[in-house]
Amino acid sequence: MAEERPAKWGLVVDLDRCTGCNACIVACALENNVPFVGEDEVAYGRALYWIRTQRYWEGEYPEVTPTFQPVMCQQCGNAPCEPVCPVYASVHSEEEQINLAVYNRCVGTRYCANNCPYFARVFNWFDYELPEPMRSYLNPDVTVRRRGVMEKCTFCVQRIVRGRQKARAEGRELRDGEVQPACVQACPAEALVFGDLSDPESRVSQLARSQRRYHLLEALGTLPRVTYLKGVGNHGG
Amino acid sequence: MSEKISRRDFLKLTAMGAATTAVMTGCGPMSRYVVRRPYTQMPEYNQTGESTYYASTCRECPAGCGIIVRTREGRALTIEGNPNHPVNRGRLCARGLTAQQGLYNPDRIRAPRFQGRSNPATPGRDLTWDEAVQVVATALQKPPQRIAFLLGLAPDHLYDLVSELTQALGAPPPLRYNALAALEGRTTLIEAVRRLFGSPALPYFDLAQAEVTLAFGADFLQSWLSPVTYTRAYGAMRQGNPRRRGELIVFEPRQSLTAGNADRWVPIVPGSEAHVVLALGQRVAELRGLPVPEAFRAVRPEEAAQVSGLPLEQLETLAQTFATATRPLALVGGSALTQPNGLVTAQAVLALNALVGNLGQPGGVFLSAAAATPTPLAEVKALVERMQAGEVDVLFIHGVNPLFEVPAALGFEAALARVPLVINFAAFPDETALKSDYLFPDHSPLESFGYQRSLAGSDRPAWSALQPVVVPLYDTRATVDVLLAAAQASGQALLPYRDEVDFIQQKILPLINAGGFYTAPEILTFWSRWLQHGGWWTPAAGLPTPTLERLPASFGTLTPPTPPAEGAFYLLTYANHLGDGSGANRPWLQELPDAMTTVTWNSWVEIHPRTAEELGLKDDDVVRITTPYGSVEASVYRYPAIRPDTLAIPFGQGHTALGRWAEGRGCNPAQVLPAGHNAAGDLAFIGTTATLTPTGRRRPLARVESKEGVYGEH
C-alpha cells in the first residue's frame, strides 16, 4: 500500500450561497451529541452551539438587510487556545492537523475560551440529562461530555477517522468530498465545502483560492483553516 | 408434524433461499415477509458496532425529502439527506434533522387508549389493538354520510387508502388541512394553476437557472413548498452560473429569510401585491412590445403605486429590470396569496411568467408531475358547520392538529364537542388528541411504511418511499393497518388489500413499467429496490410544460387593502423553522435560534424600532395583541425589517399540549386570525388589523444575538 499523504483539512464558507437557515447548527448538534440547555440557559448565553450564525443588520429601513456568517472553530494553525491550557486538553492533532479537545483531560479552567478570538468554545455549565428514551439517538462515535468540560467543533473528526479507515481497508486514497462534517453534508445551499487543502485540485482548495476569500480576524495571525468567501453585491463578483 | 424432504428438494429449497436472500437487500427491521436464515448470518441491524443505513422519506413537512437514517444496534442515530433523491439531493433542513427527537420523544402516546372525554368522571383506560379495531369497525358502520376524515398533508399513502375507503363506504372524501400549507397559500396556487393551465398541480419554478427573480411573498428559503429544493436552487442561482450572478427581488411587508437574502426587499402594503403585479405586467408587456392583456388592465399604475406605497419610478425600474432580463422568473406564495386578493395575485404572477415566455424554459415555470391535493380552509369550515349541526357521527383525525392549526375563530373546538365519537391517530398528545374519545397512535414516521407522491420540489416524476428504520418502540400500529383490519372486521368487502405493505405494493405496481431508473421483473424485487433507493424516479429531469390557451379577461375582483385605523396595525403571521407547530416538541428546534431574530424557545411580536419608540416600547416588554377574533400576549422584539404599520408573530408556539418542550411557551397566532378565506378557499388573513396594548410586564426573550452594536445597549 502506498504511503499515505497527511491531509490538511479545511473548510470554505461561501457567504454568497449561505442563506442563514441554520440547518448546520442542528446537523452539528445531533451528530456530536451536543445537549440542548433550555430557555433560561440560552438567555444567560450558555447555549452549546458548536456552530452559530452571526446575524448583523446593515443599513436603514427600507434598505435594511441582514448579513449571515456561520462561525465555528476556525481550526487555527496557530491556535491561541492551545498554549494556555494547563492540562494539555486543547491539543493539535498530528494526523488531521486540527485542533482537538481531550474531554477527559479538561478540568474546566476555561482559559482556552478566554483566549479564543472567535468565541468558538462553549462550556458545559451543568449536566444536561436526556429523558428516556432520548439517549437512544446519541452517536456512539462521540463522547458525551459532562459538567465542567469545554467543548467545540472538531470538524467531525469521527467522520474523518471513519472515512480514513474505510479508505485504508479498501487500499485506496480518500476521494475528494468523501469525508464531510455533518454541517457540510446538511447545508441545503451548498455554502459549506470541506476537503483537503493540501491537494491543489480538491474543490475546497480551488474555492479557497477565490478572489472573494478572507479569514476571520486575519491580522491576529492565527492561520485559520476556515476560509470565508464574501457575499457579493448586485453586480459584483 | 414432520415433513419428509428429499435431498433433491432440500437442495432446491436452499438455492431458492439463497436467491431470496440476495434479493432482499432492502429488508429492514419491520420486514413482513421474513426469510429464515441461520443464526450465523445475523440480520444486518443486529451486527454490533456496524452502522446500517436505511433510505426513507422525511415527514416533518409535506415536501417529502429523501433521507438516509444511520442506525446502530437497532437505534436511529443521525438523519442524513439521500444524495440521489430528486427533491433534496442529499441536503436537509433543520426540521428534517431533528426527526429522531420525535421518534424518541418521551411524550409519545404509547398504546391505544380510551379517554373519558364526555364525562370527566369516567377514567380513561388503555385498550388492546383488538378492541381498537372493533371500535373503528363499529364506527365505519355508521351511516356513511355521517362519517368524516380529517387528514394532514402527509403521508400520501394513507390519504390514498382513506380515499378508497370512503369511496367504498359512500362517505364524503377525506379532507386535508395543514397550517403550513395554509400559510404558504398552497390551495390558492393550485387553483390558479388549474384556472390558467388546466390541471390542479403545484408549479415548479426553476430558480437555479433564473437570472432575475421577483418573489411575491414566497419564503422559499425557510418554509414554502420545498425549502431544501429552493435553497439548493438559490445557491446555484447565486454562484452556479459563471456568466452572471442571479438577482433576487422580494416583495413583502415583513422581511422573511428569503427577503433578507434578496438583493432588494420591497416592503409594500400588505394586500397590495395584486395591484403591484398587475401594474408591473402592463409595463413589462409594453417594454417587450407585446399587447397588454386585458386582465392586466384591471388597475392603473398610478393607482397601484398609491395603494402599495411603491413610487411609480421604482415600479418602472423594476419593470425594466424584469422585462430586459434574459431569464426572468416570478414566484408567488405565502403572504401574497393568503389574502382576499390572493387568487388574483397568483394568476397574475403565473401570467406574468407567460408574458415573458418562460413557461417550460430553463429558468422558468413548470408543473409538478403529480396532482396536488388542496387543503382549503373553506372545506374545513363546511365540516365545522356539519359538526355543529350534529351531522357528523364519527370524526377520524390523522396527521393534523386542528385545535392548534385552524384559526380559533372557526369554532372547531365547540364543534368537536358536538361530535359523539372522535377517533384520533395522533402519535403525540396534542391539543386535539386530548379532546378525542379514542387515541389509536400511529407509528412515528421513522417506524412506518408509506410513500409521498406529491413532491413539489422534484424536477422529475418521482415517488418517495418510507420504510421503518427501527422496530416500533411502543404498542403503536400503522393507521392503514388499523383501517384495513377494521374494514375487514366490519364484514363488508371494502378494500382488496391484505395489509399496509400489500396496499403500497399494489399502488406502486404501475411504476415497474413507468420508465424509472430501475425496474424489476416482479413486485418483490421491485419492492426491495424501492426500499433500498428510498423511492422511484425517472433517470432524466423533465416536467410537464404548462400551456396557456388564453388569458381570462379578468383574474377576479380586486379589493384594495383597508388601511388600519388610528393606533391599529396590520397583523401577520409566518412559519419559521417550527413549521405548522408540530415541530415545537423537538427540543433542538426550540433551541435553534430563529434565523432573523435569533430568539429561541418562545414567541415574540415584531415591531419596527421607530414604531416601538413612538409607543415607548422596549425589547422584552410584554404586549397584548387584540383582533376582533381574540387576543394573545408576547414579548416585543424590535425588528428593523418590517413596515412601521405592521406587526408580525411567528407561528408554531403557544401549545397547551404536545409534551414537555412545547407546552406553555409563547402564543399561538391562530387565536387571533380571522376565519375568512379567499376565492380559492384558502385562509385569508393578510389585511387583518390588530391593536397593541402594553401590559406593563417584561419577559426577557432568550436571544443568541447581542443587542450591543444594534441599538448600543445590552
Ordered by start, the domain boundaries in chain B are 113-178+374-449+474-501, 182-370, 568-703
Query: How far is residue B411's CA from residue B382's CA, in Å, rounded to a whole number?
Result: 11
Query: How far is residue B17's CA from residue B407's CA, in Å, rounded to a whole number?
Result: 56
pLDDT digits (tens, 9 = 90+) for B365-423: 999 998 888 889 999 999 999 999 999 999 999 999 999 999 999 999 999 999 999 99
pLDDT score, position B705: 86
Contacts of A26 in chain B (CB under 8 A): 94, 97-98, 588-589, 592
pLDDT score, position A128: 93
Using the structure block, give the residue that is written with the C-alpha cell 437512544.
A136
Chain B CB within 8 Å of residue A37 CB = yes
pLDDT score, position B7: 59
pLDDT digits (tens, 9 = 90+) for B449-487: 999 998 999 999 999 999 999 989 999 999 999 999 999
Say which residues have a Cβ less than 8 Å from residue A15's Cβ, sequence separation at least 6: A67, A68, A69, A191, A228, A229, A230, A231
Q: CB B72 to CB A65 under 8 A?
A: no
Contacts of B595 in chain A (CB under 8 A): 20-22, 53, 55, 68
Q: Which of A23, A61, A232 sits opposite B97 (nearest CB)?
A: A23
A-B C-beta contacts closer than 8 Å: 188
The answer to whether the beta carbons of residues B294 and B178 sit under 8 Å apart is no
Domains of chain A: 9-229 (3.30.70.20)
Q: CB B263 to CB A234 under 8 A?
A: yes
pLDDT score, position B56: 95
Geometric angle at alpha carbon B512, from B509 and B518, rounded to 5°: 140
The distance of B148 to chain A (nearest Cα, Å) reads 35
Geometric angle at alpha carbon A30, from A24 and A34, rounded to 5°: 100
Q: Residue B711 pLDDT > 90, yes or no?
A: no
The distance of B265 to chain A (nearest Cα, Å) reads 7
Q: pLDDT higher for B36 or B489?
A: B489
Q: Which of A20, A26, A37 sits opposite B257 (nearest CB)?
A: A20
3-class DSSP assignment, residue A228: strand
Window 115-134 of A, Cβ < 8 Å to B: 131-134
Q: CB A21 to CB B231 under 8 A?
A: yes
Query: How far is residue A187's CA from residue B594's CA, in Å, rounded to a whole number?
Result: 17
CATH for B182-370? Answer: 3.40.228.10
Residue of B nearest to A17 (CA): B235
Q: DSSP characters for B638-659? A: E-TTB-TTEEEEEES--BSSS-
Query: How far is residue B575's CA from residue B46's CA, in Å, rounded to a whole number?
Result: 40
The grid coordinates listed for B6 are 428429499
pLDDT band at B706 (very low <50, low <70, confident <90, very high): confident
Pairing of strands B365-371, A90-92: unpaired
**Among B111-120, B198-207, B250-259, B694-703, where is mean pLDDT lowest?**
B111-120
Chain B CB within 8 Å of residue A23 CB = yes
Q: pLDDT higher for A76 or A237?
A: A76
Q: What DSSP character marks residue B427?
A: S
Positive or negative, the CA dihedral B454, B458, B462, B465 is negative
The grid coordinates listed for B497 are 388489500
C-alpha B23 chain-centroid distance:
35
Contacts of A190 in chain B (CB under 8 A): 91, 232, 235-236
Q: CB A134 to CB B589 under 8 A?
A: no
Residue of B nearest to A31 (CA): B78
Window 177-196 of A, Cβ < 8 Å to B: 182, 185-191
Q: Residue B709 pLDDT > 90, yes or no?
A: no
Q: CB A42 to CB B591 under 8 A?
A: yes
pLDDT score, position B286: 94
Q: Mean pLDDT across the stretch B518-525?
A: 92
Contacts of A181 in chain B (CB under 8 A): none
pLDDT band at B714 (very low <50, low <70, confident <90, very high): very low
Q: Residue B143 pLDDT > 60, yes or no?
A: yes
Q: Mean pLDDT across the stretch B16-36?
A: 51
The distance of B331 to chain A (nearest Cα, Å) reads 18
Task: Write the secondary structure of B342-379 as one string of H (helix), E (strand) and C (coil).
Answer: HHHHHHHHHHHHHHCCCECCCCCEEEEEEECCCCCHHH
pLDDT band at B17 (very low <50, low <70, confident <90, very high): very low
Q: Residue B1 pLDDT > 50, yes or no?
A: no
Q: Which of A182, A187, A237 sits opposite B91 (nearest CB)?
A: A187
Q: CB B94 to CB A25 under 8 A?
A: yes
**Among B451-455, B546-550, B626-630, where is mean pLDDT lowest?**
B546-550
Q: Which of B77, B265, B703 sits opposite A62 (nearest CB)?
A: B265
pLDDT digits (tens, 9 = 90+) for B181-208: 999 999 999 999 999 999 899 999 999 9
Residue of B nearest to A180 (CA): B80
Question: CATH: 3.40.50.460, 3.90.1150.10, 3.40.640.10, 2.40.40.20. Which one for B568-703?
Answer: 2.40.40.20
In this structure, which topology does domain B113-178+374-449+474-501 adopt according to CATH? Rossmann fold (3.40.50)
Task: Write the secondary structure of B5-40 as one string of H (helix), E (strand) and C (coil).
Answer: CCHHHHHHHHHHHHHHHHHHHHCCCCCCCCCCCCCC
Chain B CB within 8 Å of residue A6 CB = no
pLDDT digits (tens, 9 = 90+) for B68-122: 999 988 899 999 999 999 999 999 999 999 999 999 999 999 999 998 776 666 7
In chain B, pLDDT over 90 holds for what percent of residues?
82
pLDDT band at A1 (very low <50, low <70, confident <90, very high): very low
Q: Which amino acid is at A194?
A: F
The answer to whether the beta carbons of residues B56 and B76 sit under 8 Å apart is no
Q: Residue A22 pLDDT > 80, yes or no?
A: yes
Q: CB A40 to CB B702 under 8 A?
A: yes
pLDDT digits (tens, 9 = 90+) for A204-216: 999 999 999 999 9
